[in-house]
C-alpha cells in the first residue's frame, strides 16, 4: 500500500460512514476511528513507501486530511492508533457489520490477522463481550479508557460505563477518584461495586452527544458543541449586543470559543478584544447560583489565554463571570495577573460596571 492509497482509504472510510452517522453516530465514529487506526498500523508495517515518511507520518497525514476537510489532527491520529492497538480484537466481528460491508465495496477489506500476543489474549476473551462494548461504549469514552494499561482495570471501567451509562465526565471522575482501587480494597467487592454504582447519575440524552468527535464527524459548527437552553442563549445574545453597543473599544471575537487544556476541549461563552485596554476579555455565563468552581474554571480559561493567545504587547486577560438562579444575580470579575494599579484603574473605567451587567440579566429574565 502506497502513501496516496493510505489517504484514499481514509477518505473513502470517512465519507461513507459520515453519510450514515446520524442513525448510529456512536458506533460509526468508533468504527471509523478503529479502521483509520488499522490503516495506519498496516501502512507503518507494510506500506511500500513508508520509509520516506517515518516518524513524520502522522503529522503529514493530518495535513493531507485537512485539505480534504477531514478534521483529524496529529494528536487525534495518535489517539486513534492507540485505540486500534488496544482494541485490535474488534477485528473478529467488524467485517460482519452491515455498514462495514457497504464500506468494503470501496476499500480493501481488513485482513483479519492478529499478532501472536493478541492471538494469545483472544483465547482468554469472550468475543461476545467485545461485540457488546463496541456497540455500547462511545469513542469519547474509549479515549479515556485506552489510557488505562492494566487489562483488568480497563475492563472494570468498560463494565461500569455499560451498566451505568456513564457520561464521559462521570467516567473521568470515576477514574480520577480511583474507583477501581477502592472497590478492590474493599472486603466485600460486590457490595462496594453496588454502592459505587448507586452514586452515579446516568447521563441524559443531551449529555450523550456532547462530544467533539460527534460534531466534527458530522461537519457541524463549533457553536453546536455546547448545549444551551433558551435562557442561556437569550442572555448570551443580549450580552453580546449590549457590550458591542457600548463601543469604548470592544471588538467581538468569538462565541463558544474552543480552547484546549490538557488534551480536553473547553468552550468560552463570549470573547472580546479591547483595543484601548489592549487585552482579551472572556465572559462566562452560568444559569446557576455562584459556585467557587465556576470562578476556578474561568481563571483557568484566563490563564490559558495568557499562556497561549496573549501577545507580548497585550495586557493580561480579563475574565467576567455571570451567574443567575431564581432571580438572584451575581457578577464576578477575575483580575488574574493584573497587578499594575494604573491598568486596573483604566479597566474599571473602560469596562461595563457590575450594575450594568446585572441590569442586562434582570431585563432578560423579566422578558422571558
CA distance linking residue 55 with residue 197, whole number of Å: 43
Say whether both 212 and 234 belong to one domain: no
Note whether residue 230 is domain-resident: yes
Residues of the chain short of pLDDT 70, as ranges, are 17-25, 47-48, 50-52, 105, 107-109, 111-127, 184-235, 245-247, 263, 288, 324-329, 335-350, 364-368
Predicted confidence (pLDDT) per residue in 251-272, tens digit: 888 888 888 887 677 889 889 8
Last residue of a domain, one of 162, 190, 220: 220
Q: At what angle do helices 3-19 and 57-67 cross, to 10 degrees?
A: 50
C-alpha pair distances (Å), 130 with each of 31, 86, 87, 170? 13, 12, 9, 22
CA distance linking residue 359 with residue 232, whole number of Å: 16
Last residue of a domain, one of 169, 193, 220: 220
Contact (Cβ atoms closer than 8 angstroms) between residue 321 and residue 295: yes
CA distance linking residue 168 with residue 179, whole number of Å: 15
Last residue of a domain, one of 205, 220, 235: 220
Say whether both 188 and 118 belong to one domain: no
Query: What is the spatial order of strands in the sheet that 250-261 belongs to?
Result: 250-261, 264-274, 279-286, 318-325, 328-334
Contact (Cβ atoms closer than 8 angstroms) between residue 31 and residue 17: yes
- Residue-level pLDDT at 274: 87
Write out the residue range of the structural domain in which residue 3 sits. Answer: 1-123
173-199 burial, b for 16+ CB within 10 Å, e for fewer? ebbeeebbeebeeeeeeeebbeebbee
Note whether residue 240 is domain-resident: yes
- Residue-level pLDDT at 117: 46
* Location of C-alpha cell 451509562: 165
Say whether both 348 and 237 belong to one domain: yes
- Residue-level pLDDT at 336: 58
CA distance linking residue 322 with residue 289, whole number of Å: 10
Say whether both 101 and 157 belong to one domain: no
Note whether residue 131 is domain-resident: no
Contact (Cβ atoms closer than 8 angstroms) between residue 273 and residue 302: no
CA angle 241, 244, 247 (to 5 degrees): 145
Say whether both 5 and 102 belong to one domain: yes
Say whether both 231 and 360 belong to one domain: yes
> What residues form DSSP beta bridges with 285?
322
CA distance linking residue 352 with residue 239, whole number of Å: 11
DSSP state at residue 90: G
The H-or-E segment that residue 187 falls in is none
Q: In 3-state terms, what secondary structure has residue 21?
A: coil
* pTM, entire model: 0.54
Say whether both 212 and 306 belong to one domain: no
CA distance linking residue 16 with residue 130, whole number of Å: 24
Say whether both 251 and 213 belong to one domain: no
Say whether both 212 and 320 belong to one domain: no
Q: How many domains in the chain?
A: 3
Say whether both 227 and 359 belong to one domain: yes
CATH number, position 358: 3.40.1350
Say whether both 236 and 354 belong to one domain: yes
Amino acid at each position: 500500500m502506497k502513501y496516496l492509497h493510505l489517504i484514499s482509504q481514509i477518505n473513502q472510510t470517512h465519507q461513507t460512514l459520515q453519510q450514515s452517522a446520524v442513525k448510529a453516530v456512536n458506533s460509526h465514529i468508533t468504527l471509523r476511528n478503529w479502521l483509520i487506526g488499522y490503516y495506519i498500523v498496516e501502512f507503518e508495517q507494510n506500506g511500500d513507501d513508508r520509509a520516506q515518511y517515518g516518524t513524520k507520518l502522522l503529522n503529514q497525514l493530518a495535513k493531507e486530511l485537512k485539505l480534504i476537510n477531514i478534521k483529524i489532527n496529529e494528536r487525534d491520529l495518535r489517539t486513534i492508533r492507540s485505540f486500534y492497538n488496544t482494541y485490535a480484537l474488534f477485528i473478529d466481528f467488524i467485517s460482519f457489520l452491515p455498514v462495514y460491508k457497504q464500506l468494503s465495496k470501496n476499500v480493501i477489506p481488513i485482513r483479519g490477522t492478529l499478532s501472536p500476543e493478541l492471538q494469545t489474549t483472544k483465547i482468554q476473551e469472550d468475543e461476545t463481550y467485545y461485540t457488546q462494548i463496541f456497540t455500547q461504549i462511545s469513542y469519547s469514552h474509549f479515549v479515556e479508557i485506552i489510557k488505562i494499561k492494566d487489562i483488568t482495570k480497563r475492563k472494570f471501567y468498560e463494565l461500569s460505563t455499560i451498566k451505568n451509562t456513564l457520561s464521559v465526565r462521570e467516567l473521568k471522575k470515576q477514574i480520577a477518584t480511583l474507583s477501581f482501587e477502592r472497590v478492590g480494597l474493599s472486603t466485600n467487592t460486590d457490595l462496594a461495586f453496588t454502592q459505587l454504582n448507586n452514586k452515579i447519575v446516568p447521563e441524559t440524552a443531551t449529555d450523550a452527544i456532547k462530544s467533539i468527535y460527534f460534531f466534527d464527524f458530522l461537519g457541524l459548527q463549533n457553536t453546536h458543541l455546547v448545549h444551551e437552553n433558551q435562557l442561556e442563549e437569550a442572555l448570551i445574545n443580549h450580552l453580546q449586543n449590549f457590550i458591542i453597543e457600548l463601543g469604548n473599544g470592544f471588538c467581538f471575537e468569538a462565541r463558544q470559543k474552543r480552547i484546549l487544556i490538557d488534551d480536553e476541549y473547553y468552550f468560552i461563552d463570549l470573547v472580546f478584544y479591547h483595543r484601548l485596554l489592549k487585552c482579551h476579555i472572556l465572559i462566562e455565563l452560568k444559569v446557576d447560583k455562584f459556585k467557587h468552581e465556576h470562578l476556578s474554571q474561568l481563571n483557568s480559561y484566563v490563564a490559558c489565554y495568557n499562556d497561549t493567545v496573549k501577545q507580548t504587547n497585550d495586557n493580561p486577560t480579563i475574565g467576567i463571570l455571570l451567574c443567575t438562579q431564581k432571580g438572584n444575580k451575581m457578577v464576578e470579575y477575575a483580575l488574574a495577573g493584573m497587578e499594575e494599579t494604573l491598568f486596573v484603574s483604566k479597566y474599571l473605567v473602560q469596562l461595563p460596571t457590575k450594575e450594568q451587567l446585572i441590569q442586562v440579566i434582570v431585563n432578560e429574565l423579566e422578558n422571558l
